[in-house]
């Protein structure tokens, strides 16, 4: 096999490995998986609206097996309470950082990650049918490989040990999931394009070397 063929084969195998890790091929959650999660976390408090647990259960039962993005609108607390395990007089950002110290590794190890994170630069510019949503301090979009990945993360007891930091650091928040129809930031697309370009560039150099060698 020539070096050029080995190059392309290696790139295809590398991309296949990435896609197999980045994509959940196990299909939608089963009822057994959902019930096991609900039993495991029945004594845990997700915080926020009491209806959140019911909404989560419906979300899990309507699983399609696909990736989803979680949109988060966040308003940090101006005067968060003192929290055990946090520095004295910790501000909201410090409390959120303590929560994210657990969440970021948990996300990345499961092919999930932030897509967009940023500070608000204005109040709500389009607001209809909702009260108290004029001001937000931060926003974020998180990519989850699947709903199975979500329950794997929030079914971990360590999640709840850190979740109190998040609740203490927030004045208010809204989080809701979408399944993207168009997602130009999908890493499978971006990595595939990068790998194609890099492989084509190396292949072109190998071809030139081969031509030069033949001429000599």
Strands of the 170-178 sheet, one edge to the other? 113-119, 138-144, 68-76, 170-178
Identify the pLDDT of residue 43.
81
Q: Provide the sign of the torsion angle of the four alpha carbons 51, 169, 126, 150, taken in this order.
A: negative
C-alpha to C-alpha distance for 69 and 176, rounded to whole angstroms = 8
Q: Is the pTM of this model over 0.85?
A: yes
What pLDDT is recorded for position 216?
53
pLDDT band at residue 67 using 50, 70 and 90 as cut-offs: very high
How far, in Å, are 130, 133, 210 from residue 46 at the CA level? 23, 21, 62
Q: Is residue 45 pLDDT above 80, yes or no?
A: no
User: pLDDT, tens digit, for every residue of 105-160?
Assistant: 999 999 999 999 999 999 999 999 999 999 999 999 999 999 999 999 999 999 99
* Inter-residue contact 96 to 85 (CB < 8 Å): no
Distance CA 121, CA 138 (A): 9
Kindly report the number of other CB atoms within 10 A of residue 171's CB atom: 16
Question: For the purposes of burial, counting CB atoms within 10 Å of the CB of 148, is it exposed (0-12), middle (13-18) or buried (19 or more)?
Answer: buried
């Amino acid at each position: 096999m020539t070096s050029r063929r080995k190059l392309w084969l290696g790139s295809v195998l590398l991309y296949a490995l990435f896609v197999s890790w980045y994509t959940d091929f196990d299909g939608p959650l089963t009822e057994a998986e959902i019930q096991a999660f609900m039993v495991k976390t029945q004594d845990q408090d997700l915080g926020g609206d009491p209806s959140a647990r019911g909404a989560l259960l419906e979300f899990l039962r309507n699983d399609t097996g696909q990736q989803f993005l979680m949109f988060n609108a966040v308003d940090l607390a101006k005067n968060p309470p003192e929290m055990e395990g946090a520095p004295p007089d910790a501000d909201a950002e410090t409390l959120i950082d303590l929560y994210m110290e657990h969440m970021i590794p948990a996300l990345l190890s499961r092919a999930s990650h932030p897509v967009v994170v940023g500070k608000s630069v204005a109040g709500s510019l389009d607001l209809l049918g909702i009260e108290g949503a004029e001001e937000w301090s931060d926003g974020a979009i998180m990519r989850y490989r699947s709903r199975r990945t979500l329950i794997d993360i929030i079914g971990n007891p360590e999640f709840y040990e850190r979740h109190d930091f998040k609740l203490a650091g927030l004045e208010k928040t809204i989080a809701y999931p979408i399944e993207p129809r168009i997602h130009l930031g999908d890493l499978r697309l971006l990595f595939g394009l990068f790998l194609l370009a890099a492989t084509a560039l190396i292949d072109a150099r190998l071809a030139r070397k081969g031509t030069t060698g033949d001429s000599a």
